């Protein structure tokens, strides 16, 4: 079975540009998570969805970040405008059900560099 799919794997952009990261969760999973990983702060949860509905976005850094999940098989994380401090690896993860005995499965990540 295909795991979590993320695109692009690498993105290099200039400060001020809009960046869109994409994620396809594992089929049948109904929870989706966006994480950011940096050396300084480790793995941070940005936002997660259950059944396409945002449940907890308290980790979203600021209004420049937005996430959508228009259907069960697709989600985007958008940064507009991007800044150098947004440079990090962004992971998407999915989970088979909400709460309880669920576990999260991670995608390969998108390495974002903002110049």
Contact residues for another protein, defined by CB under 8 A? 4, 31, 33, 41-43, 45, 48, 50, 55-56, 91, 93, 95, 98-99, 101-109
Based on CB atoms, which residue is closest to another protein, 81 or 108?
Answer: 108
Based on CB atoms, which residue is closest to another protein, 56 or 83?
Answer: 56
In angstroms, what is the minimal distance from the CB of 102 to another protein?
Answer: 7
| Buried b or exposed e, range 45-61, using 16+ CB within 10 angstroms | bbbbbbeeeeeeeeebe
Based on CB atoms, which residue is closest to another protein, 45 or 72?
Answer: 45
| Strand 110-114, strand 10-13: pairing | parallel
Burial class (CB in 10 A: 0-12, 13-18, 19+), 37: middle
In angstroms, what is the minimal distance from the CB of 16 to another protein?
Answer: 27
């Amino acid at each position: 079975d295909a795991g979590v799919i993320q695109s692009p794997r690498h993105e290099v952009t200039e400060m001020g540009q809009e960046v869109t990261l994409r994620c396809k969760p594992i089929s049948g999973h109904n929870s989706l998570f966006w994480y950011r990983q940096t050396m300084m702060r480790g793995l941070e949860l940005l936002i997660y969805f259950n059944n396409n509905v945002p449940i907890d976005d308290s980790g979203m850094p600021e209004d420049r970040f937005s996430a959508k999940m228009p259907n069960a098989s697709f989600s985007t994380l958008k940064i507009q405008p991007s800044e150098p401090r947004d440079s990090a690896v962004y992971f998407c993860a999915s989970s088979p059900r909400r709460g309880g005995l669920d576990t999260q499965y991670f995608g390969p990540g998108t390495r974002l560099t903002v110049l």
